[in-house]
Chain A
Amino acid sequence: MPAIEVSGLKKKYGDIQAVDGTSFSVEEGEVFSLLGPNGAGKTTTIEILEGLRNKDSGTAKVLGLDPWASGYELHKRIGVIPQGFKFLDYPTPKEAISYYGALFGKKVDPDELLRRVILDDASNVWFQNLSGGQKQKLGMALSLVNDPHVIFLDEPTTGLDPQARRAVWEVVRKLKDEGRTVMLTTHYLEEAEELADRVAIMKHGKIVAMGTTEEIESRFGSGQRMVVKGGDDLLKYLRENTRLRVEGGAGEVTIFLRDKADAMAALGAIEESGAAWEDLTVRRDSLEDVFLKLVGESGGVGEGGE
């Protein structure tokens, strides 16, 4: 049985179709990442799965339970960091964790949990006086108090410094090692590449691409590209003298390569141009390139547009 199962899920706020018939499933022990631009419907989807919002239609099951109808049972077995996590103003992280422990009837060691999310240095500071990143870390700690099977992390690293972000990554990897299921949203694509077994890219409430990052890159990417530092004269020369697809600006020229012949032609043309250039690299489309292409204004993917 998959840990999370969603099919044909829809949710509308007034005129806005926030989730528009999404379907996916997440296996137990998998780390699944939901990506998409602002307003794509990620939080709405996650809140429906957490039982915090009712769906309009479709099915959603988490650990075999209907999140809305069986929320009370489900909540004992899931952990959640809401987007923009806020807590009561006055408890300290230590008190907050003890409070959660008492509510869930779980024995927890606040110090141990706070060390795990690197918040032990602020364990006795009132919540309202914690920094943005420290608050976020407390959210992470609280989501783990009840020893959850499935953990929903809605932008858990937004606003964190690089070290803290890596600490969260460590926590997520450990959760995966322990066999827990993690569903994660993020705007940092390298984070998804780093952590997720599979990702789904959402746009206007629909999933426009889903799979491992390699699958998505090779399916939606345009293959290899050559990037070279050079000015407008180089760009102009390449445009006028080759049939290659070229883009440029900000001192950088990108040449899209369909095959090896394109690569040789590009190298030759750069040499012939006589323009100044340096730092030539060849790479495949990254997840970020694919993401921008898929969610970009032009759409590109039929079902993604409006």
Chain B
Amino acid sequence: MDILEEIAIGVEKGDSNSVHALTEKALTQNISVGEILNNGLVAGMDVIGEKFKNNEVFIPEVLISAKAMKAGMELIKPLLAKANVESKGKVVIGTVKGDLHDIGKRIVAMLLEGAGFEVTDLGVDVSKEKFLEFVEKERADILGMSALLTTTMTYMKEVIEAVENANLKQDVRVIIGGAPITHSYAEEIKADGYAPDAASAIDLVKDLLKK
């Protein structure tokens, strides 16, 4: 079996130690970081992602794979820029101001990371100023907001207005989610996308960045 395949299987199994060791080994064998990323780490995550969609594996299994992928990513991350390998995209994500619901947003963030995106999770109770600061600083492609309360979801609109006012709207796609959010609300506040759950959030981000 070739080493990239072994890495992919390590990711699929969620075996961080072996992924780490194999990635290290691959680097000494002068395999390009682009190949390690795409044919090893991401390939493994693609398999597990597909299985998740087909209800063959569950969230903890996907997250453990994402963790294994991260173990490999840590090694190649510093080399990616030098090798001119573009990241799949940068995501800044957080739960909006006044809202302390955390776990759904975390799942989305971790799965995005697993799918190969660079994710900055700002946590909960995030102000529009902080969202903007990190969108600029990270040069984010995607701004993701989560809200679980009807009383805080209106804040998403304020953030989108702030993004517009800062002339960032053409640089960053805004996506939203959370239990009370709907498609029509996303349209109403001019978000670029909405996802009802984590799996569809990944598809949504992939889709938006294709365009």
A binds B: no
Binding site for B on A (CB under 8 A): none
Q: Which residues of B come within 8 Å of A, CB atoms?
A: none
